[in-house]
A = this chain, B = another copy of it.
């Protein structure tokens, strides 16, 4: 059942996404981007709690699949970063460099980590002796730094990415590394499902893979303005890093072999994703799992009954809290109920519980869900069950809506010209037929003024029939293209 028609107005959200988003970040107290270094921001208290809830979902998924959380240093000596040739070539112009300790020039320059493969590998080398020490599955949540030359955007393109989750694994065989890539992809799918974000999974073209990887699988979402945002990547690093860092191990039969490695990461964009996807002109709509406050209780005072509605509101807060629901009664007496509605709608609180004198008399409570603003009434005795059911329904509807949004923004097209027009209108992702050769792919990017996201990954293989839109040779696959952030 579609609830599309029940959406709250989304005019500003869809017509001027950029300013809607910047506006929400400050007014809902998510991230203050006015810090005096370009591309550096401050996670404010409310935003920090959203961030923690989302990262906790990720931690739970990684812990449940045998990953161990660790913490590696922020600085990487230049000679380590340079060990893998492709890697340094891509990152050296993007690194911030530490050159002095006090007024003393350092003998070796240190990079602020742009990613941690080259910090982790020398330590793994110390830890791995034999096949019994493998696999190694680590992750950390840290700041990474990229001296971006493109225009920065709050959360979407920062120079300090303060919420980078990076996982790094090392394996005995190519097959295990391959299987790990699939596990990484599955973890990310579950993660985005949990936070009500829809995504395309694509194998990036060769010229767009991670520096030092054999291949890269990427997650992309479609923003309100039709542009596409990369929200996660999974890399098979083959033996490129293990050879560069000399990570070998003793096999059961006593030979020495180089190990295989993978890495996969999500950034602050994963935190922005549900905010972006489910916003409307009233503000944010947060999935209940993600929301710092799941139910806000607002007393509707009426002359002579003020104390009563406040009492009942307080008790309701306690009832909900003791059932593990993150609830808060807003008892501020310098704001009208209307002003409170406005305040909490902007902040995306999933459910508003209103307590007026009539609710008190009838032992009822009025519940309003944030995504549709639909009102329901429930008996006070049943309120915990009602709230739980409402949160579940809301989560399900939000997830469905996210996928509807994605489906309506991916179009299979027959010609370059059709693709060009759709991309010009910023209609999302187009899928074209491709012979699979780099040469034609690069020509396609140029002709479309767009980026190739790559070929569908992990979906049922459907035989492709037709011809490459560039060279006219028999098509080998479908390729996705979009205008990206």
Contacts and interface: CB of A to CB of B under 8 A. Distances in A.
Interface in A8-37: 32, 34-37
Nearest to A148: B101
A160 B36 CA distance: 24
A162 B143 CA distance: 12
Contacts of A34: 123, 126
Interface string A40-58: 1111110011011000000
Interface stretch (A90-98, A212-220, A294-302): A90-98
A97 B98 contact: yes
Nearest to A51: B71
A77 interface: yes
A95 B99 CA distance: 11
Q: How many copies does the complex hold?
A: 2
A103 B52 CA distance: 35
Given A69-B45, A92-B102, A74 B122 contact: no
A304 interface: no
Interface residues of A, number: 50
Interface in A87-139: 92-104, 110, 112, 119, 122-123, 126, 138
Which of A42, A92, A94, A145 is the most central at the interface, judged by chain B CB atoms within 10 Å of its CB?
A: A42
A70 B43 contact: yes
A23 B141 CA distance: 27
Given A93-B102, A98-B98, A99-B99, A36 B80 contact: yes
A162 B100 contact: no
A167 to B, nearest CB: 13
Contacts of A112: 74, 98
A7 interface: no
A56 to B, nearest CB: 12
A107 to B, nearest CB: 11
A98 B123 CA distance: 25
Contacts of A69: 45, 48-49, 52
A338 interface: no
- Among all A-B residue pairs, the 5 with the closest Cβ atoms: A101-B147, A45-B68, A93-B102, A43-B71, A40-B73
8 contacts: A35-B73, A45-B70, A73-B160, A97-B100, A98-B99, A99-B99, A101-B147, A104-B147
